[in-house]
Structure 1
Amino acid sequence: MSTAPFAPGGYRFIPAVFQYSGGVAAEPGFKLVRARFRNPIPLKDGFAAIAAHLSAMGRPLTAFAACELRSPEPFSEEGFVAFNRIYAGTLKEWGLFDGTTNPVARSNVCPEIAPPPEPSFYAFTYTVEDAAAAPSFQVAGSGEAREGFATYREATVRYGETGPDALREKAQYVLGEMERRMAALGFTWADTTAAQVYTVHDLHPFLAEEIVARGAARGGLTWYFNRPPVAGLEYEMDCRGIATELVI
């Protein structure tokens, strides 16, 4: 993996797919700030709220670096593509997406209980200028789908299986992907301030050996009883190293 600069935002990113990047890190002279909404806000209203917040902070729209979404239920593969094109349309209007490359990292998951009625923003991350800031980063969410396959069914580790051994193998893949993305950005688990996992399945059989032992829970582990965004995926994670976080 390699990274590319996004100078208008003051951060660098891991190029990935049109709907999101693999992760972001603040460039020298900037830091990342994460803001969580008290309650998820529907996509259109969320974009408006984010724009207003950035304006109040004296930051351009291009400072938008990452977001965390909540959706009503897992998408079909076709539905996920259609949703992503709507989402990416606003990023294009904001000068973030050039039609091919998207620098903004993202997680998009589906609460199993009391989901929102429509896709909504849960949190977002942006850059601010700070000459004395420590390095900061955010890795995009990843489920157990490997790259380079035509369909999720082909790409997914132990597709259709949810037994303890299958879930351990899925977690191993996702944890490895977190480590690969952090390494590309220049970080390790030792640099994280938070790790988040999204699954409706039992973590305990592999929690100590696969997650805690490798340092992935050094700041604790936040478990959301959510499903990944595409039907057939069962386990997702993201992580970050951010010193300043807000609730708005």
Structure 2
Amino acid sequence: MQTKTMAAGGYHYIPGVMQYSAGVAALEGYRIVRARFFDVVPMKEGFERIAAHLAEIGRPPEAFCACEMRSPGQFSEDGFAAFNTLYAETLRAWNIMEGDDNPVARSNICPEIGAPEEPGFHAFCYTVKDGDAPKTFAIAGSGEVPEGKANYRDHIVRPGETSPEAIREKAAFVLNEMERRMGFFGGKWADTTAAQIYSVHDIHPLIETELAPRGVHRNGLAWHYNRPPIVGLEYEMDCRRVFDEIVL
């Protein structure tokens, strides 16, 4: 599998599933910027604010390349499919997504405390023109299950288990997937500017056994007390190499 180019947006991406790509990287002459909302913004309003921000800085909607979402709670597989269908409507309207080919990377997780009342945006990434830009990328979130299977439940690593050893195996799977995705862009942990972990389970034992040996902790770790989006998943991560971050 090779990356594909979203020329109108100034980035290339790792083909993934209908709901998101596995990651994006800016094309030569562009860099990725990350914008975080001060509070979670409901999805419809969030798309409107994203479009307004891009227009204000002179970038087209197609420059939208990644996002981090928050949801009230974990979805059933049918519920997740319905949410993804609604989410994809805007991407198609913006001429980003054609059919089921979705270039936009995404994380969508569920705060255990203080969850929003409806799905919304926590942060998003977009490209801007920059002739001297360093390499930038944003890797989509992954839980402990391979994508593209007929369902999630039959393929989860150590399903139904939350012992320290089970969490370690889940984390190892996710770390391997992060590394695989970064590899499409020639990236590794030493290139990242941030790594985020989403789990309600104790991650401290993982630092010495899984995270530190790989160098994941080089800039510290952002641990969000959140659950992955699908019932049955317990551990998710994403990571990025982005030098410009703002709060809206």
- Matched letter for residue 60 of structure 2: P
2:71 touches 2:115 (CA, 8 Å); kept in 1?
yes
Q: What is the RMSD of the two structures over their aligned residues, measured on CA atoms?
A: 0.8
- Percent identical residues: 58
2:130 matches 1:130: yes
**Which residue in the other structure is 1:40 paired with?**
40
Give the alignment of 1:1-248 within 5 angstroms.
1-147=1-147, 149-248=149-248
Q: Which 4+ runs in 1 deviate beyond 6 A?
A: none
1:146–1:157 Cα contact (<8 Å) kept: no
Any stretches of 5+ residues in structure 2 without a counterpart?
none
Give the Å deviation of 1:148: 5.1
- Aligned partners of 1:56, 1:133: CA distance in 2, in Å? 21
What TM-score do you get using the length of structure 1 for normalisation? 0.99
Label 1:148 to 1:118 Cα distance change in 2 as closer, same or farther (>3 A). closer
| Length, aligned pairs only | 248
Partners of 1:147 and 1:155 within 8 A in 2: no
Rounded to whole Å, the distance in 1 between the matches of 2:228 and 2:181 is: 19
Offset of residue 100 of structure 1: 2.0
The gaps in structure 1 that reach 5 residues or longer are none
SS of structure 2 residue aligned to 1:32: strand
DSSP 3-state at the match of 1:98: coil
**Which deviates more from structure 2 when the two are superposed, residues 210-219 or residues 23-32?**
210-219
Instruction: Give, in whole Å, the separation in 2 of the partners of 1:182 and 1:2.
Output: 13
Paired AA for residue 115 in structure 1 = A
Contact 2:14/2:24 (CA < 8 Å) preserved in 1?
yes
Cα displacement (A) at 1:149:
3.4
User: Could you tell me how far 1:147 is from its partner in structure 2?
Assistant: 3.5
How far 1:154 moved relative to its partner?
A: 1.1
TM (norm. structure 2) is: 0.99
After alignment, is 89-98 or 147-156 more displaced? 147-156
